[in-house]
Amino acid sequence: MAKENQFVEQIANIETDFPQWYTDVVVKTKLVDYGPVKGSMVIRPYGYAIWENIQKELDARFKKQGVQNAYFPLLIPMSFFTKEAEHVEGFAPEVAVVTHAGGEELAEPLAIRPTSETIIGTMCSKWVQSYRDLPLKVNQWCNVMRWEKTTRPFLRTSEFLWQEGHTVYATAEEAEADTIKMLNIYKEFAENCLAIPVITGRKTEKERFAGAVATYTMEAMMHDGKSLQSGTSHYMGQNFAKAFEIQYLGAEGVLQHAYTTSWGVSTRLIGAVIMTHGDERGLVLPPVVAPTQVVIVPIAARKGGVVEACEALKEELENAGIRVAFDNTDNSPGWKFNEWEMKGVPLRIEMGPRDIEAGKMMFARRDTLEKTEVARENAAESVKATLAEIQKNMLEKARAHRDSRIVYADDMAGILAGVDGGNFVKAGWCGCRECEDKIKEETGATARVYAEGESAETCAVCGKKAAHMIIYARAY
């Protein structure tokens, strides 16, 4: 595709070099920069504003479920991890450990939290004594550290931001129901706020969270057909309750272990937005989480009344709760168009002398690049209606893209051809770990999620009777 402006010339071709396109976009739109420590990132104001909008939307949803925010320590005694054997084994390769502080060697090394089940389990064992203390529902917005070997901004970094919710229930039924409920809340948020269609369901035993009884996931398809695990919800059963002695006295006077869950999403969601909606011009941001929903660009700004008219429009939109910027810099209109398009602002409004005289304004949509003349009267209502259309269209477009790239396979050759073509592949699986491992070894694809409600006759690897239908994909 021909390069159309200096901004696009600085971005790799999205179709031929998607990884480099991603790197170019996150850096040149000032979402993020590289930190001085290998694998770390600095989230710049424009990127952090997206995270703030994600927090705002999710936090409101959590609180409707009776979840309360709290904060737990960054440093966790290493002995806590040894209490749940599978958990410590699963996280051992990624844990960063503090061994010295205050110029002295510590009596016990401290882990920098890779996740907080252990410290929160410890505290819950103190807080839960009776059935009257249940359910207990807490969430924290924090940073975690996992010493990753291969990193990419937002998608996989040594330190990242996330939320982790933790609940304690009296019964398995309540805990299992909560696990699914939170997964569905994530799905609703992803689709209605991020405009990202997701496939939800249970992970295989191999792919589940270390220490969980069952892990549920939402998987999103990126522009190149790879999957991105965008959020998880874990049913822990009594594993952590027994490890950390979370017990309650029931109404009948019997002491028993509780049941726990945990669930979380991270700044990886920003990467998901970028890779789902971006195009050859740069970012395309869904209005719900876009830092700037509307940018006003004056045309012939030096002519009398133009700046004043744009400022009045900005104030009107701000008063209506719309996030709006007025670009009154001395750059040319064309330069401004290109810059704001690369930054993914959903709607651009152009106003010049002729527009003002005619009582009109020009709308330019980022999702379709269409331009439409709109009456200046009732501007806020027109803008809100257009932003709603953009939000809806972005979800529909992403869903159509995903659905067009879901294929079926009966054998290994079919799985390989499917993922080579940038698809999600549905195939039968006998349930054998050896067959699951073989698919990863020979195709680079992993079992992303069980295809709920679907079945297959035979396993694509061994040809034996299939126990499940699995969605396979290469993943970030």
pLDDT of residue 85: 67
In tens, the pLDDT along 229-265 reads 999 999 999 999 999 999 999 999 999 999 999 999 9
- Taken in order of first residue, the domains within the chain and their CATH numbers are 6-277 (3.30.930.10), 294-388 (3.40.50.800), 406-473 (3.30.110.30)
Q: What is the reported pLDDT for 83? A: 85
Cα four-point dihedral sign 72, 75, 77, 83? positive
Write the CB contacts of 391 (distance below 8 Å, at least 6 apart in sequence).
Answer: 195, 286, 287, 288
Is residue 375 packed enough to be buried (19+ CB in 10 Å), middle (13-18) or exposed (0-12)?
A: exposed
Q: What single letter denotes the amino acid at residue 328?
A: N
Amino acid code (one letter) for 209: F
pLDDT, tens digit (0-9, with 9 covering 90-100), for 157-189: 999 999 999 999 999 999 999 999 999 999 999
The predicted structure's pLDDT at residue 162: 98
pLDDT at 88: 66
Cα–Cα distance for residue pair 156/147, rounded to 1 Å: 10
Residue 17: predicted pLDDT? 97
Per-residue pLDDT of the chain (476 residues; tens, 9 = 90+): 334 445 566 899 999 999 999 999 999 999 999 999 989 999 999 999 999 999 999 999 999 999 999 999 999 999 998 887 677 676 778 899 999 999 999 999 999 999 999 999 999 999 999 999 999 999 999 999 999 888 899 999 999 999 999 999 999 999 999 999 999 999 999 999 999 999 999 999 999 999 999 999 999 999 999 999 999 999 999 999 999 999 999 999 999 999 999 999 999 999 999 999 999 999 999 999 999 999 999 998 888 899 999 999 999 999 999 999 999 999 999 999 999 999 999 999 999 999 999 999 999 999 999 999 999 999 999 999 999 999 999 999 999 999 999 999 999 999 999 999 999 999 999 999 999 999 999 999 999 999 999 999 999 999 999 999 999 999 99
pLDDT of residue 1: 36
Q: What is the pTM of this model?
A: 0.95
| Number of C-beta neighbours around residue 62 at 10 A | 19
User: Which residue, among 270, 317, 302, 230, has the nearest Cα to 47 in the 3D structure?
Assistant: 270
User: Strands of 68-69's sheet, edge to edge?
Assistant: 68-69, 136-145, 159-169, 259-266, 227-237, 214-221, 198-202
CB 171 within 8 A of CB 257: no
**Which whole-number Å values give the CA distances from 320 to 31, 81, 291, 347, 428, in the listed order?**
27, 50, 16, 16, 52
Describe the crossing of helices 45-64 and 172-192 by its angle, rounded to 10 degrees: 140
333 preceded by a cis bond (ω within 30 of 0): no
